[in-house]
Homo-oligomer: A and B are copies of this chain.
Amino acid sequence: MATSEPTASGADPDPNTANLRPSSTTYDQAWMHGCTRKLGMKICGFLQKNNSLDDKGRLAGQKNLLSCGDNSDSRFRRTESDFSNLYARDLLPAKNGEEPTIQFLMEVVEILTNYVRKTFDRSTKVLDFHHPHQLLEGMEGFNLELSDQPESLEQILVDCRDTLKYGVRTGHPRFFNQLSTGLDIIGLAGEWLTSTANTNMFTYEIAPVFVLMEQLTLKKMREMVGWPNGEGDGLFSPGGAISNMYSVMIARYKYFPEVKAKGMSAAPRLVLFTSEHSHYSIKKAGAALGFGSENVILLSTDERGRVIPADLEAKIIDAKQKGCVPLFVNATGGSTVYGAFDPINEIADICEKYNLWLHVDGAWGGGLLMSRKHRHKLDGIERANSVTWNPHKMMGVPLQCSAILVREKGVLAGCNSMCAGYLFQPDKQYDVTYDTGDMAIQCGRHVDIFKFWLMWKAKGTIGFEQHIDKCLDLSQYLYNKIKDREGYQMVFDGVPQHTNVCFWYLPLSLRGMPEGAERREKLHRVAPKIKALMMESGTTMVGYQPQGQKVNFFRMVVSNPAATQSDIDFLIDEIERLGHDL
């Protein structure tokens, strides 16, 4: 059986950077020759392709079926598809749509696997920055506008390439910009499968396997939190902010169940407590759920960003004296900026004393439960009533994957159920306690579990542990490298608790300048300036922000499994290269 020869070409060989035309190379895809029939279907070999998209003229109008060498069985035919003459309507479920469908999907997969390869290649850029107006004007034919008429599949493939080209490689070893970084291959495969299954978590009926995977995985997570036998409830929700919102809703339902039917007017003035360093979603939940953001009381922290328990107790007493009813305390397990872990045990003591709901927002730090070395930072989490834990952050699971875990069984369903008869019929033939939809504030719910389950299978708990330990080691490496280095000033002293390393970089012009308004003002502008230069050169990305009275500083975080010490070194070099002479 013959296949065509590879054709060398001098044109842009990179389908992700080439514009309008992909690789000018000619290539084959020879496929699935082992074919038999079953159930009347062809599980057949085809897809022998010889398609040069940059040579449209040559192929235009052609759609040849070529028999494969000495095998004239149509199951082994090869086809040339001319995507410029094919449209979405030619794909499945269209008649004869199978072949173009598989060919089209394989073209897409080629684009994606090229992107995956390049993501891990340090010689590629993290991003190719353009301003909004530039992209809106249309970059070299990349037109974002929608129209009434369909575009050819060739144009759709070009659109896919361009979308990736002008995006940001969040899996690049030098992308440190968010708490969620990296591109896990198993997780990616899991997401591809999830998209293909295209179902919905609300009933066992249409997602039997995923519903059970979620149940088993949540139980395992509750075991790691330390609740007896992993008992309790939980859900995967669309992100940590929603998980935190759940915790507030459940706490309210537990203490004031009448609010569900009667509204907030049935309860006294309820107050929530959370650290001034905590995630803004607690305040957002307070506003959304009808408590009011002013009734979310911010707790003072020590210099490392950890809640001061005495301040919590003082504010509880103060609130009670003002006629408010303390309801809920959020302890942060890994704060967004400092990576601080609140002292959960001391907070739990106070919650017990005053009979308050204790939530631990472990969206960022929850992953440390996987590490025998670091899980002590979450000591006391087993005393929490609810926990937020986002595997899509520290554990490298693709976005989105966030769990809300609840210690007491039943309260989540009690809080949210509306018993919609059209969806959650009690008279199904299976055990309908597996229908979890009525526990959620969502109706349809995306399948976030599979990628995580598959990663856990593929890595084992031990694999997550290794990843987490490595990220924390890398952070310590960075901390050791810069803590006494000229031009650096740490935002707080001491080894970071999590992978967050917060620091100012001082250009030469600022070193030795006396403290004061002028220095503050100038220093405030340094990080944004370096970040802008970084994005324009596209070499690396790291976050910055002010915090309280502290002017803009860099917040370095490591969650990217691809990062190594050399990437940390690179970041430092890059900051110095771009910032030294500011």
Contacts and interface: CB of A to CB of B under 8 A. Distances in A.
B28 A31 contact: yes
Contact of A192 (B192, B241, B450, B562): B192
A561 B93 contact: yes
A170 B197 contact: yes
A431 B133 CA distance: 9
A420 B280 contact: yes
A2 interface: yes
Nearest to A546: B421
A546 B562 CA distance: 53
A41 B523 CA distance: 39
A141 interface: no
Interface stretch (A260-268, A307-315, A404-412, A506-514): A260-268
Contacts of A283: 418
Interface in A527-565: 528, 531-532, 535-536, 541, 543-547, 552, 555, 561-562
Contact of A458 (B87, B284, B456): B87
A33 B10 contact: no
Task: Say what secondary structure dominates the interface of chain A.
Answer: mixed
B206 A117 contact: no
Interface in A24-39: 24-39
A91 B111 CA distance: 19
A261 to B, nearest CB: 5
A400 B442 CA distance: 11
Interface stretch (A159-167, A348-356, A574-582): A159-167
Interface string A120-158: 110110000111110110000000111111110101100
A459 interface: yes
A13 interface: yes
A317 interface: no
Oligomer copy total: 2
Contacts of A444: 180, 239-241, 392, 399-400, 402
Interface stretch (A58-66, A209-217, A471-479): A209-217
Nearest to A423: B545
A130 B430 CA distance: 9
Interface residues of A, number: 211
A548 to B, nearest CB: 9
A284 B199 CA distance: 23
Kindly name the residue among A36, A269, A286 whose own CB sees the greatest number of chain B CB atoms within 10 A: A36
B263 A446 contact: no
A463 B88 contact: yes
Interface stretch (A290-298, A339-347, A373-381, A486-494): A290-298
Contacts of A422: 336-337, 543, 545, 547, 555
B34 A239 contact: no
B25 A33 contact: yes
A496 interface: no
Nearest to A168: B206
A495 interface: no
A319 interface: no
Nearest to A136: B212
B261 A264 contact: no
A112 interface: yes
Given A241-B442, A446-B446, A25 B32 contact: yes
A560 B212 CA distance: 26
Interface in A87-134: 87-89, 91-93, 97-98, 101-102, 104-106, 108-118, 120-121, 123-124, 129-133
A132 B290 contact: no
B31 A9 contact: no
Contact of A289 (B12, B15, B289, B295): B289
A350 to B, nearest CB: 23
A186 interface: yes
A195 B200 contact: no
A45 B6 contact: yes
A232 interface: no
A43 B261 CA distance: 61
A204 interface: yes
B150 A262 contact: no
8 closest Cβ pairs, A-B complex:
A25-B34, A290-B290, A6-B33, A263-B292, A191-B195, A429-B532, A93-B562, A238-B238
5 contacts: A26-B33, A41-B124, A102-B116, A240-B444, A241-B440
